[in-house]
Structure formats: structure tokens, C-alpha cells
Amino acid sequence: MQHLDEGTIHAWLDGELPAADQAQAERHVGECAECATALAEARGLIAGATRIVSALDVVPAGVVPLPSQKGKGAVPGSMWRTLRLTPSRAALAASVLIAVSAVFSFRRNVSDDRASAAPASKTSATGASVAAVTSEPTAPAQASPAPPPASARQPAAVDASSASPRPATPRKLADARSALDSVSAKAELPVAMNAARATGAVAGVAADSRPEPQRTMNDSAQAKKTAVAAADRVAAGGAAVGPPAVAAASRNQFQRAATPVQLQEMVVTSAASASDIVGCYQIKAESGAVARLLPDRFALERSTVVAAPNVVRAVTSDWRKDSVITGSNWIPLANNGAKIQSTDGAKRQVVNLHLTSLVSGQATITGAAAPLAVTRMACLP
């Protein structure tokens, strides 16, 4: 039989070849190494072309383009644009942040002072968190008509946000001022840093009102929600892959993110990495290589269940996705990479996959001396 031409191979992979021709082609590929190579190459080209075309999408597939909407029924726009942030408003917002940070820092300092004076049993209740400080039982001291004990006087005096409508006496104000002075020395640097960060973020947002798609801001609340969801996914994957601390750190990284800009970047990075690496792969088997828990052919697939780890599937000899490989999961890494973990009883193996081009890359396996070549393929549905 003649070798298969490229058009026939592509038609076959596109599912457009009549059944009889397909069977004939399959038989031929089984016997002809040259055509088998051409088939593998065509798979790579199909996957590569699809990926390139997808890169053209400014909007992800399946999203109806947004018309210009200002009237009723409009899709809610960015909070930052809705607020119409200007530099002066941004500065005002930064000032408010500084003030709030100062109050919190002040409270913490007061709490620390009180903790040092209080009995040991009480110190355990004064944690670093603001919530712990505000939940301190200061109410009895405030409600009591009698002079409060020395240990409780200071916090009661400076608790400006307290619901108790007592007038501030000169003594209390003086206490508060001195306490603020002592706090400012400790809190100045971090507060200034926070403020600078916040100002930078706000200024960044103001600048982003210009039409630069790379810096487009979504609603910060939505961004944070998405970021936490993404963190959950990463954490879920990481929980199975690495020690719990890794997953916790990953989640904390998102939750600690203070500004929408940071959150936005994390979301985009996470989403882009995950979508870029999904696909079918073949690891080039080498004699003498480390025994792998992962088969030569496998598919990385994102989990459709929220917070569930991403799945790894087996791939059949005709490049169809097969069953999920139990004990294997993966998380996306930066720069077109993925960390795949496979477990089999007590055995555990990690494969770090990294794509160096559209259709090829390397797999570094724990315990292996050198990385193995990996080819990205197009799977049949």
C-alpha cells in the first residue's frame, strides 16, 4: 500500500475518513513506521495549531461579546470604574487605610501592654489578631460605675470604637495620645508599607482605566472570590501532591493578597497555566530509565468538580482518553509546566512536566538522572 499522505492523516485524525479507509489506514500505520511517525507528527501539529488559534481569543471561547452598556440591565462593571477613582480619591482612600491600620496597630499595642500586666491566664486570650483583641472582656470594666482596675483602665480609655458613649476625659485623651505615640514608632514602617502598597494599587487602578487590556481590572470582590476559588483548586491539588503545609501556604498566598492587582495577577497566572498545560502527552521511553508509575501516554485534564484535584487519564493506543488513573493528580506550574504526582500504595513519584515548545517538552522524574523527552499530542474525543 502507498504511504498515507498528510491530508489523509489529518482527515483521519479529524474523524472525516470513511470507515473503510480508516480501517485501511490503521492497518497500514501498524506496519509502517514511517507513517506512524507522520501520524504522531500530525497529532502534534493539530494540537499546536489549536493552541495557537486559541491564543487569538481576547475573550475565552463561549463568552458572548459585551456590548456597550450603560442603561438598565447592564452587566456590572469594575468597582474601580464605578467609583470613578481619581488620584485625589485614591489619596483619600490611602489616608483612610493608614488611619485604620494605625487604629488596629494601636489596639494591638494596647493589648500587648495589658497582656504583659495581666495574669498569665489572661495572656493566652490576647492573640495577635484584632478579633482576639476586640473580643477581650472589656465590657464589664466599661459598664462598671466604680473605677476600673489598673489593668483594664488603659484599654477602656482608648477604645474609641466602643459602643459605650462615655465622653473622653483629658486623662484618657492623654493616655491615648501617648499610647498612639508609642505605637507609631512600631507601626510606622509596616503601616507606611501597607499604605504605599495600597496607594500603588489604587494608582494602578486609576491608570488602568486607559484601554490597556493587559491591565484590565475586574471587580475586586469578584477577583478575590475567583482567586480564593483558584486557591482552593490549587490547594486541593497540592494537598494530595505535597505536604499539607504546601497546600496551606498556597491558599494563604491568595488570602493574604491585599490588593486587587495582586489578586488579579494570581488569578490570571493560575488560569493561564492550567489551561495551557491541559492535553495529551507521550513520554519517550528510554532503556534503563527509572520505572515510572505514570504510563508513557497520559492526559492531563482539569477537574470539573470544584476543589477536587485535577485528574490524569490514561490514553489508548489510538490516542483516545481513557479511564482516570487512580492515585494520580496534577497541579499547574508557572511557564507551561505541571507537577504530576502518582502514588501506588507506599510508592510515590513526582513528575515535573515542562513544555519548551508548543508540542514538546521535558519530564523530570524523581530519582531519574536526566529528564525524558515529552511530546504533546492531540487526543481524539
Block residue for cell numbers 500603588: 200
Q: Which is nearer to another protein, 35 or 133 (CB)?
A: 35
d(CA 231, CA 236): 8
Binding mask 99-138 for another protein (x = CB under 8 A): ----------------------------------------
Q: Which is nearer to another protein, 54 or 95 (CB)?
A: 54
Binding mask 13-32 for another protein (x = CB under 8 A): -x-x----------------
* Closest approach of another protein to the CB of residue 97, in Å: 24
| Contact status: 8 vs another protein (CB under 8 A) | yes
d(CA 46, CA 360): 13
* Closest approach of another protein to the CB of residue 224, in Å: 14
| Contact status: 148 vs another protein (CB under 8 A) | no
| Contact status: 78 vs another protein (CB under 8 A) | yes
CA 262 from centre of chain: 10
Q: Which is nearer to another protein, 57 or 188 (CB)?
A: 57
| Contact status: 163 vs another protein (CB under 8 A) | no
CA 89 from centre of chain: 30
| Contact status: 375 vs another protein (CB under 8 A) | no
| Contact status: 366 vs another protein (CB under 8 A) | no
Of the candidate residues 101, 126, 218, 282, the single one contacting another protein (CB under 8 A): 218
d(CA 305, CA 319): 24
| Contact status: 287 vs another protein (CB under 8 A) | no
Contacts of another protein in 37-66 (CB under 8 A): 37-38, 41-42, 44-46, 48-50, 52-66
Residue whose C-alpha is closest to residue 341's, from 355, 325, 320: 325
How many residues of this chain bind another protein (CB under 8 A)?
Answer: 65
d(CA 341, CA 279): 16
Q: Which is nearer to another protein, 47 or 133 (CB)?
A: 47
Query: Which residues in this chain contact another protein in the complex, by CB under 8 A?
Result: 2-11, 14, 16, 34-35, 37-38, 41-42, 44-46, 48-50, 52-70, 74-75, 77-78, 81, 210-211, 213-218, 264-265, 267-269, 272, 357-359
